[in-house]
Amino acid sequence: MKLLKTAIKKQNWDLAAHVIVLATVRVLNKGVKPDARKTKEKKGRPKG
């Protein structure tokens, strides 16, 4: 969201709105966690 911060800092509201819309579309298409890792780390003691 570096682009969004830059757009807000420079008060470029049109660009900020587009970034928000694109981020929303990405979340809706890929789910709630689009940048989540594919593998999950297991917590707890190892089996063995």
First-to-last C-alpha distance (Å) of the chain: 43
Tokens, residue 28: 């809706």
Q: Is the pLDDT higher at 42 or at 7?
A: 7
- pLDDT by residue (tens digit) across 3-40? 889 988 999 999 999 999 998 898 888 776 655 555 55
Q: Is the pLDDT higher at 47 or at 3?
A: 3
The answer, yes or no, to whether residue 42 has pLDDT greater than 90, is no
pLDDT of residue 37: 59
pLDDT of residue 27: 85
Q: Is the distance from CB of 7 to CB of 16 less than 8 angstroms?
A: yes
pLDDT of residue 10: 92
Residue 5 CA to residue 16 CA, distance in Å, equals 8
Residue-range domain boundaries for the chain: 1-29
